[in-house]
């Protein structure tokens, strides 16, 4: 093999190595924050996620045929889940597979906030198992927290698309819940430039809300996003 052949082979090898390293790093980053099978009850705080149903349906729910999208005009904000979190941004999942079963009595409680039985069960298995609570108490905690939050008047059922920054949305919840919620306790999640979720950080003992500490990802940036109308 001549000099040119050796040089070409080296370039091909180096290119392949760099691509493989980049792909491995990307995969590592994608799964870096999930602690599968972490010890039950080992976490620092909760994240209560409320889906903005019109936005969720626009970006993925309609395509996936989600039940909550069939009547989205009456939905507005819906509970997505209550997720144990760590201070560093990691989160535990599927902590005790022996507790997969959700009794019918617990699902009857969940019906108040979950239109989709499959979502209620899935949220328990992925996140609820890690809480250390029984399924009925886990769903009751979600209901109690959801009832505490007053939705800003402008976000109850907007008839037209709205434009706002994540900071403005967080401030709207602060103004609607004075003395209970501060802007740093709220994390806004969006996709494709649309509001998808509003998330609230809560104390581990569920006694109230707390700062997210900058660990709750939102993926929105600081510019304006669209809030899809509720009909």
Catalytic residues: 80, 123, 127
Two structure tokens written together for 188: 């806004």
Supply the angle between the helices 117-126 and 135-148 in degrees, to the nearest 10.
110
> Which stretch of DSSP H or E encloses residue 89?
none
Measuring CA to CA, which residue among 54, 58, 49 is closest to residue 71?
54
Q: Residue 60's CB: how many other CB atoms inside 10 A? A: 14
Q: Give me the residue label for tokens 């600081």.
A: 222
Helix (H, G, I), strand (E, B) or coil at 200: strand
CB contact set of 146 (below 8 Å; sequence gap of 6+): 48, 50, 79, 113
State CA 157 to chain mean position distance: 22
> Which stretch of DSSP H or E encloses residue 54?
helix 53-56
State CA 34 to chain mean position distance: 13
């Amino acid at each position: 093999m001549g000099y040119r052949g050796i040089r070409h082979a080296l370039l091909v090898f180096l290119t392949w190595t760099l691509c493989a390293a980049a792909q491995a790093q990307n995969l590592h980053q994608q799964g870096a924050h999930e602690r599968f099978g972490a010890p039950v009850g080992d976490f620092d705080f909760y994240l209560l996620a409320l889906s903005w149903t019109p936005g969720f349906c626009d970006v993925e729910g309609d395509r996936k045929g989600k039940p909550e999208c069939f009547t989205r005009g009456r939905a507005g904000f819906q509970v997505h889940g209550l997720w144990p979190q760590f201070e560093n941004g990691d989160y535990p999942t599927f902590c005790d597979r022996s507790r997969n079963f959700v009794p019918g009595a617990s699902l009857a409680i969940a019906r108040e906030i979950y239109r989709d039985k499959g979502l209620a069960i899935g949220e328990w298995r992925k996140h609820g198992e890690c809480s250390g609570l029984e399924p009925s108490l886990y769903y009751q905690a979600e209901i109690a927290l959801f009832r505490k939050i007053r939705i800003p008047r402008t976000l109850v059922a907007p008839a037209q698309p709205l434009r706002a920054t994540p900071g403005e949305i967080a401030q709207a919840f602060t103004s609607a819940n004075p003395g209970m919620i501060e802007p740093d306790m709220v994390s806004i999640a969006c996709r494709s430039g649309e509001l998808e979720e509003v998330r609230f950080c809560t104390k581990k003992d569920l006694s109230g809300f707390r700062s997210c500490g900058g660990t709750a990802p939102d993926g929105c940036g600081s510019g304006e996003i669209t809030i899809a109308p509720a009909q």
